[in-house]
Amino acid sequence: MKNTLKIIYLSTFPPRECGIATFTADLTDAMNNLLEPVIESRIAAVNTDDISRYNYPRKVIFQIDQNSQQEYVKTAEEINAMDDVKLVNIQHEFGIFGGEYGSYLLVFLDTLKKPSIVTFHSVLPSPNSELYDIVRSIAEKASGLVAMTNLSKEILNREYGISKKKISVILHGIHSVIYPSHVKQKDVLSFFKRTNLLTFGFLSRGKGIEYVIEALPKVVEAYPDFVYTILGVTHPGVLKKEGESYRNFLIEKVRALNLSSNVNFYNEYADLDKLLQCLKATDLYISTSLDPHQAVSGTLSYALGSGRPVVSTPFAQAKELVTSETGILVNFKDSDSYAEAIIKLLKEPKLREQLGKNAYFRTRKMTWDNVALEYLKLFSKYSSDISKLSEYKKIPRINLSHMFRLTDDFGIIQFAKLSLPDISSGYTLDDNARALIVVCLYYDELGKSIKKPYLDKQKTELINRMKIYLNFIEFLLGPNSEGQDGNEGIFHNYVKADRTIDIKLGKKENLDDANGRAMWALSVAASVASLPANIKNKAFSLLKKRIEKHKMFESPRATAFYIKGICLLLKRTKEIEGKGLDLSGSKPSSLLHPLRRAEDEKEKGLNDEWRVKAEKILIVLCDRLVSLYRGVSSEDWQWFEDYLTYSNAVLPEALILGYEYTRNSDYFDIGVKTLDFLISHTFIDGIYMPTGQGGWHHRMGKRRYFDQQPEDTSAMTCALATAYSVIGKDVYKKLMNEAFNWFLGDNSIKQVVYDRTTGGCYDGLGEGHINLNQGSESTISYLLARLALIGKEDIADS
């Protein structure tokens, strides 16, 4: 892509076995997931010497011998000459750069002309004069600094005299995982069948594992059926100097204490998948560092992020992350302290489970997606070029796995506990109607984009889901339902977990919106040309029953959903019954109001009968929205109601679609005015800020910003996509992208709402926190917004 910019990361990098290398690989992967190909990551890899050369991936474009000052200078000069490189991020650890305390890095910074950000992985308190001078020089030469804990920032300020304004705190990243069931994982890993304690990472004498081993005889007395797993290779630097002496020392201690049946060593460098699998199978993680000043531990971060309760020594990061609600801190070099903590947590499995859940909840802001957003925000501060392109997020591939996880053989379940279906919540027409729309639209796109060998299996699965959702809708209109309040043709909405209709709950609420969405969903299923005939025919049959019993909705949003369905239906009548007006290939300028032109004899018959009825209904519905607007609007309040509530954007979208079919200028004018009004109240400094469900935005009242819902963001994204398609203004395309980016972290709390790991969407944004449940409405709302972007993904080229 011609506009691609690059960020260079100076660091160690895999396949070199090093904690900083793993961190940089994870960070650059997350940055690429966020921004590639608009902004790409490239690596300047630091090697231990000129002999140690690795089989690096293509993203590594420079290699530096850490002990060669000339190579630092040469690399910096070559980076200076690269116009597309806009910033350099240096992952700093004292042991990976040459010279005393890594002083050769200063040669690189002296030569470099690009903005630079230095991430300090270690911050040492009580520095001697030489260490002080080197860290101060790094800080003076760098554009900005990153510390990984608040304590590290405090030390840099207090003991090195570095301004707090220059230091940003960005936590160590973690991998997003589904909240674990460690019982299931133990079935996969046979050596974890028993109650399992785990420590992983590079072995070295600073690890302090011997103090855990010395605590285990007391644990065995109380709980003999456990195993302590020590997973990891000896640190490569240690291995060169002293071989496996530390591992052998630990093995001998295990033998001397008669613990061979309770301690297992696995001398392997576990890849990420194996590591996460081991963590999920773990009952208790033990973090053993002997260095009270250790700023950060990737292993501790990963364990907490995997939802594991932790016993840890009180090093710097642990004092911030391991609280009484996530684990237990023990004294350094104190085996009795370890024994007491381990026994307590083995004795109280419910406490252990709760600590693990707390750890999982409290680390969601540390997922790599969120950490990448924090780095992007910082990089944008020091590079206007990066800032300009930062809004062009990489659009995730469409993933229906979580929607299908929530679906059983009857329908899609309403709520989830985290990412697991909550069957007790039952089912709704609302959710199943929306789910039907998603699978129909995705089925249509799948046939356009995937070659046949991969197509048949996915098509079959999609068709099976269509049948489930369509049967569910039929269930709420068919023989099992005589209709809400006895009115034939009106759908129920709520179904209990036992699959019986909840008439009592339905009578308490207005079911207009659910019925409007059902009409929209049936219209989609009836009109997508590529769908199997039996699906289209069944959907159209249900739709005709509802159209024949047409009743005006009270809810403006239900009216709008109905308009969306009828407009789609009328534009594709030929695809449904093989007769009638086919407008699917027409340009907007050629669309004439069908009631204003002479009827063609070929269009007579049954198809004409329902089509004319549908056209009349469309006009009645659009005119109702116009009437609402004229009864409420004023110069400073261009809206249909005296308040903004949920799914607001569907109202102007419906009128714009009504205009597209009828060419009625009133529909166009009001649709555009109200959409622009809504835009003015919901986009703030390039961030979409939907009306919060914590309180609606009343005409003369103060607007509320939380609890923001995916449903509203989805409605705005879809409305802007429609406006761009019908009207053609580039500003709507740009705003569509900004609205969709709400899901990807461009929101009021700067955290991702879409979970790439599960394919689900979180249930909402509170003030400073996310609702981590991934229910049907939220997940489907995201998917509808994502599907609306199809054909418009080239926005990054604009």
Q: Tell me the pLDDT tens digit for each residue of 724-743.
A: 999 999 999 999 999 999 99
Rounded (5°) CA angle 414-418-422: 35
**Per-residue confidence (pLDDT) for residue 529, from 0 to 100:** 87
**Per-residue confidence (pLDDT) for residue 604, from 0 to 100:** 38
- Taking alpha carbons only, the member of 172, 658, 123 closest to residue 371 is 172
Least confident window among 123-127, 136-140, 241-245, 436-440? 241-245
Q: How sure is the predictor about 526, in pLDDT bands with cuts at 50, 70 and 90?
A: very high
**Per-residue confidence (pLDDT) for residue 376, from 0 to 100:** 97
Q: Where do we find the tokens 């991430």? A: 119
pLDDT tens digit string along 61-70? 999 999 999 9
Q: How sure is the predictor about 123, in pLDDT bands with cuts at 50, 70 and 90?
A: very high
**Per-residue confidence (pLDDT) for residue 185, from 0 to 100:** 61
Express as a percent the part of the chain with pLDDT over 70.
90
Q: Which is higher by pLDDT, 338 or 572? A: 338
**Per-residue confidence (pLDDT) for residue 1, from 0 to 100:** 43
**Per-residue confidence (pLDDT) for residue 651, from 0 to 100:** 99
Token pair recorded at residue 603: 């269009």
**Per-residue confidence (pLDDT) for residue 701, from 0 to 100:** 79
Q: Which CATH architecture is the domain 182-366 placed in? A: 3-Layer(aba) Sandwich (3.40)
**Per-residue confidence (pLDDT) for residue 487, from 0 to 100:** 52
Q: Report the pLDDT averaged over residues 392-412.
A: 96
Fold annotation for 5-169: Rossmann fold (3.40.50)
CA distance 733 to 792: 8
Q: Report the pLDDT averaged over residues 504-521.
A: 91
User: Cα 592 vs. chain centroid, distance in angstroms?
Assistant: 43
- Residue pair 246/234 in contact (Cβ under 8 Å)? The answer is yes
What is the sign of the dihedral through the CA atoms of 634, 640, 644 and 649? negative
Least confident window among 133-147, 275-289, 338-352, 437-451? 437-451
Cα–Cα distances in angstroms (integers) from residue 303 to residues 105, 206, 223, 299, in the given order: 32, 19, 23, 6
Q: How sure is the predictor about 247, in pLDDT bands with cuts at 50, 70 and 90?
A: very high
pLDDT tens digit string along 666-685? 999 999 999 999 999 999 98
Burial of 498: CB neighbours in 10 Å, binned 0-12, 13-18, 19+: exposed
Q: How sure is the predictor about 191, in pLDDT bands with cuts at 50, 70 and 90?
A: low
CA distance 176 to 170: 17
What is the sign of the dihedral through the CA atoms of 401, 402, 403 and 408? positive
Q: Report the pLDDT averaged over residues 142-148.
A: 98
Using DSSP, how many helices (H) and how many strands (E) does the chain show? 30, 24
**Per-residue confidence (pLDDT) for residue 18, from 0 to 100:** 87
Q: How sure is the predictor about 186, in pLDDT bands with cuts at 50, 70 and 90?
A: low
Please give the backbone phi and psi of residue 681, each rounded to the nearest 5 degrees, phi first. Answer: -100, -5
Q: How sure is the predictor about 602, in pLDDT bands with cuts at 50, 70 and 90?
A: very low
Token pair recorded at residue 473: 């809708």
Q: Report the pLDDT averaged over residues 518-547.
A: 91
Q: Which is higher by pLDDT, 562 or 54? A: 562
pLDDT tens digit string along 339-348? 999 999 999 9
Q: Report the pLDDT averaged over residues 605-631.
A: 86
Q: At what angle do helices 556-571 and 512-527 cross, to 10 degrees?
A: 10
**Per-residue confidence (pLDDT) for residue 351, from 0 to 100:** 97
**Per-residue confidence (pLDDT) for residue 510, from 0 to 100:** 86
- Residue pair 516/559 in contact (Cβ under 8 Å)? The answer is yes
pLDDT higher than 50, residue 583:
no
- pLDDT, averaged across the chain: 89
Contacts of 384 (CB under 8 A, 6+ apart): none
Q: Report the pLDDT averaged over residues 504-529.
A: 92
pLDDT higher than 60, residue 119:
yes
pLDDT higher than 70, residue 188:
no
What does DSSP assign to residue 745? Answer: T
Q: What is the DSSP string of 531-573?
A: S-HHHHHHHHHHHHHHHHT----SSHHHHHHHHHHHHHHHHBH
Q: Report the pLDDT averaged over residues 397-406.
A: 96
Least confident window among 31-40, 171-180, 676-685? 171-180
Q: How sure is the predictor about 610, in pLDDT bands with cuts at 50, 70 and 90?
A: confident
**Per-residue confidence (pLDDT) for residue 238, from 0 to 100:** 83
Q: Report the pLDDT averaged over residues 159-185.
A: 88
Express as a percent the part of the chain with pLDDT over 90.
74
List where CATH 3.40.50.2000 sits in the chain. 5-169, 182-366
